[in-house]
A and B are shown apart, each in its own frame.
Chain A
């Protein structure tokens, strides 16, 4: 079994294994999560979820410092959180190899923006490798460790949705035996006081030029010949695949594997051999701008958009190649947006907040879906943690609104960066009410453990942060716990805490309905004799409920019997919750 199909992320994890990596610390985020989940399956790799990306990167640095090859993984916006260590780790360099895995999401399949991570490599002067498929994901991971150690630098491995989440063929090799690098105290290398850092900066600049030289001759950037020189393409990552899909071997292609630093001579040479130079890259025109600085004027963003993800059709269309679309369904079709699951513990809270017309500072997680109709419960969503800090600023300048305004934040997001905002609320004393939606898991990214769950990435029992104690120790005196399946009680507690004249935290506690260890009472049935078709139950947006022949109908394959709809029904047509075995 040497050949198998692997996701790009799984292949990167395999690369970590084969390269003798011993330490992985990451924070989940689509489309990067599976690198770490697959790495955790290798007994030879210690792997963990950190509370956020900054902690992950610093921990991975610590492991490298101690002499072990290490890795941290995150999505593109996670690199914003970890940008602080990144820029200075560029100066310190590494002891054993250190890889920073980051996955972009052009097209925003599951992200709040489509920033281009390549800017970070350029800004921090750190090399960045960009694989185009699963085989390269593994190969480049191994090269990344070599580069890291050879050039004394962290190396960024840049994935994107179509590489990370595409399965392709990978040839498996054995794990290398890698000697630990000895730890030697070296203050001038690792203590970045101004006096030391000032000496480091020129070294970083020199390193970049050395890497550029390496990039010219190492084969990491390769030229594939064509039969016509009318056009010549410079491209990388998944765009390479689209160019090859459309043109095959017709035109020469310079495939870039190392996106930073770019190989000047290779590019100039390649350009001199073709009539029209074309750069195909998703999002920003980074390779193109580099070509411009070399005095080349390639076809680039004048023909290709800097929005969204590309495809073979986008490349073909740019060259006037039209493709037939033989069938189109003429009617307008209802959209099928994602929704909170049937039985989702977040639903009841959003129903209350919406019903009472409360202003809600939202955050990032499954509960962002509370913004969708019919709940329409959110007023803002920016980035992880912003709900709590945003609420504080809002309440400080609009105190008259404070007792009708809350923040909602998930347990994982609270651990990630909500707690610092809460400290600000306690310290600078805004009359704020924060609702922690504690569903005992990191739901949106596919159910990862976090510091509040008491279980680690490998599935073993672990330390457990007690949210109540944490909030109290920060200085929040009012901490209440509610069960979001109980609408009336939850509503009362929310009203009480909004009315209170001091900061408060409400912990809404119920595990995610999809967790395997959660026992549900099972599907309910609508008593059609009693149902009058008033649609009161439809206001909570449970996907298991629809109206069939003017009566509520419960989809048995979806309903878990949470009993929330029963609390909407005044006619007693929908039963209240029966207690399940482990309630």
Chain B
């Protein structure tokens, strides 16, 4: 059975690194893996998405509407934008950070209010937390991606060491310590969020 993960966010937030680490991890577990990304225009602060699919045999490189088991959103508005892609019993992990897009900055559009609550009211299983503050705690807002992976780690039964190894193999040596710390903070935050919604193990995908 193929599993679908989507990583969505704003160009420049480091979604590509997150998908690369996930890809590495699934590869070491002997799954077939495909990781799709779109380069180009999207890097200049546009809405970005990467797809990570794994299973015995993966054909399509992309995830379509209604197919995602997990969506990891790096930004709140992007969570709302991409929620159509979530499966009925899928999980939406989202950073609660808001980044205003140009139409909001110029006053043409308004940033929607209470996105997280609205998503929950729709019946979406939302795990939202402030990944930016945690990333800043380890020293760089750039670590948001790894903080989110730390949270995501609860949905898989990889060992902590396996996660660390995947991170180590994908980031430059001088950033390894900072990123491992970011991962640990995200993982810790995950315990808290998940305990609160009282739904800890049922979403484990392996």
In the complex, B171 has a CB within 8 A of chain A: no
Enumerate A214-259 residues with CB–CB distance to B below 8 Å: 238, 240-242, 244-245
A446 touches B43 (CB 8 A): yes
In this complex, what residue of A is CB-closest to B77?
A333
Chain B: interface residue total (CB-CB under 8 A): 59
Q: How far, in whole Å, are A33 and B23 apart by their CA atoms in the complex? A: 22
CB distance from B82 to the nearest CB of A (A): 9
Q: How far, in whole Å, are A338 and B39 apart by their CA atoms in the complex? A: 12
A166 touches B61 (CB 8 A): yes
Interface-located stretch among B100-108, B176-184, B187-195: B100-108
In the complex, A324 has a CB within 8 A of chain B: yes
A337 touches B65 (CB 8 A): no
Q: How far, in whole Å, are A313 and B4 apart by their CA atoms in the complex? A: 15
Write out the residue numbers on chain B whose beta carbons fall within 8 Å of the beta carbon of A372: 102
CB distance from B36 to the nearest CB of A (A): 4
- Tell which of B43, B77, B110 has the most Cβ of chain A within 10 Å: B43
Q: How far, in whole Å, are A259 and B33 apart by their CA atoms in the complex? A: 26
In the complex, A576 has a CB within 8 A of chain B: no
A324 touches B105 (CB 8 A): no
Write out the residue numbers on chain A whose beta carbons fall within 8 Å of the beta carbon of B101: 334-337
B39 touches A312 (CB 8 A): no
- Tell which of A326, A444, A535, A541 has the most Cβ of chain B within 10 Å: A326
Contact of A328 among B41, B62, B83, B102 (CB under 8 A): B83
Write out the residue numbers on chain B whose beta carbons fall within 8 Å of the beta carbon of A334: 77, 101, 103-104, 108-112
Q: How far, in whole Å, are A334 and B108 apart by their CA atoms in the complex? A: 9
A30 touches B39 (CB 8 A): yes
Q: How far, in whole Å, are A339 and B11 apart by their CA atoms in the complex? A: 10
In the complex, B133 has a CB within 8 A of chain A: no
Write out the residue numbers on chain B whose beta carbons fall within 8 Å of the beta carbon of A279: none
CB distance from B53 to the nearest CB of A (A): 10
A244 touches B59 (CB 8 A): yes
In the complex, B138 has a CB within 8 A of chain A: no
- Tell which of A110, A324, A333, A372 has the most Cβ of chain B within 10 Å: A333
| Leading 10 A-B pairs by shortest Cβ distance | A110-B40, A334-B109, A338-B46, A338-B44, A336-B101, A166-B61, A30-B40, A245-B60, A167-B35, A336-B47
10 A-B pairs within 8 Å (CB atoms) are namely: A5-B27, A31-B40, A238-B61, A312-B64, A313-B65, A335-B103, A369-B44, A538-B106, A545-B105, A546-B104
Add 8 more A-B contacts to A326-B86, A338-B41 (CB < 8 A). Answer: A167-B23, A167-B34, A328-B84, A329-B81, A333-B112, A334-B112, A336-B102, A339-B45
Residues of A within 8 A of B (CB): 3-5, 30-31, 33, 109-110, 133, 161-163, 165-169, 238, 240-242, 244-245, 311-313, 323-329, 331, 333-341, 366, 369, 372-374, 444-446, 535, 538, 541, 543, 545-547, 557
Residues of B within 8 A of A (CB): 10-11, 20, 23-24, 27, 32-47, 58-62, 64-67, 77-78, 80-81, 83-84, 86-88, 100-112, 118-119, 122-124, 141
